[in-house]
Amino acid sequence: MTYTILARWIGVWILLWVGFAAPAEARKEIVVDYEAGLVYPLENGRLVRGPIITNHGVVFKKKYLGTFRVTEKLIEKRSNLYNRHGQPIRNGEEGARMPYWMRLGHTAQGFHYSSLFSATGPRRRSRGCYRLSKADAIWLFNWTPIGTPVHVVWSVKQSRFAYLQKATSSRRASLPLEPQGVSVRPALPMRTVAQGVAHPGLPARRYHG
C-alpha cells in the first residue's frame, strides 16, 4: 500500500515538473485597424511584423467589427461573386483568384493576396475582404494557425489595443530609411502547407474578394 501511494506521488511530481519545464506555446492573435487599414500580428501581445497594410471594404458595415477566429485556410481560392477586375461575375466568367485565403469565423470576409492590392492610395478598395501583398499574404498564411482570434476594431487608438500605436512608432524609428517605392521587408519563402484546411462542420460560404 505504501509503495502504491509513493508511486502515485512520484507520478504527480513528474507531471508537474514536465508542465513547468515545457516552454509555453506563444499566444497568437491578429488585430485589424479598420479605419487605418492596418493588420497587427501579435505573439503574447507583442507586434511581430508590420503593421501590415491591407485594402479592405469600400463600404463599411458594423458586422465587420468584432472578434472572429480563423476557421478556414486554402492556398487556392476563387471568388464566386466577383471577377479578377473586382466586378460582379457574368455568365461563364471565372471568379477572381484569392490565394492564401483565411476565412474569419462564419463570415464571407477573409485575408488573401490580390493582384489588385495597392500599398498607396485609398485603403478601402475591396468588396469586403482584406487584400494583402503577396509577401504579406504568404507570411500571414504560414504564421497563422486555424483558430487564431482576429480582433477587428474601428480604430486601434480608441480600443484596448491602443498600446500598439507606441509599439508601431518605436518599430518604425528603429528601421532604416527606405528609398521611395522600395520596401526593406524581405519576401519570405512559402513553407509546404496542406492544400486545404477547414474547420469541420462549417457550411459553404460566398466569398467577396
Q: Does any domain span residue 186?
A: no
Q: Does any domain span residue 8?
A: no
Q: For the domain that residue 161 is a member of, what is the CATH number?
A: 2.40.440.10
pLDDT recorded at residue 198? 44
CA nearest 129: which of 57, 35, 59?
57
195, 75 in Cβ contact below 8 A?
yes
Q: Does any domain span residue 110?
A: yes
Which domain covers residue 78, as residue numbers? 25-174+194-198
For 56-113, write each residue's pLDDT tens digit: 988 888 999 999 999 999 999 887 777 777 777 788 777 778 899 999 999 989 999 9
Q: Does any domain span residue 10?
A: no
Fill in the amino acid letter for 111.
F
Q: Does any domain span residue 14?
A: no
Q: Is 1 helix (H, G, I), strand (E, B) or coil?
A: coil
DSSP labels, 109-149: -EEEE-TT--SSS-SEEESSSEEE-HHHHHHHHHHPPTT-E
DSSP labels, 49-66: S-PEE-BEESS--GGG-E
Q: Does any domain span residue 208?
A: no
pTM value? 0.68
> Which of the given ranges, 75-84, 85-94, 115-124, 174-183, has the highest pLDDT on average?
115-124
For 18-55, write each residue's pLDDT tens digit: 344 444 567 999 999 999 999 999 999 999 998 999 99
Q: Does any domain span residue 40?
A: yes
Q: Does any domain span residue 3?
A: no
Total number of domains in the chain: 1
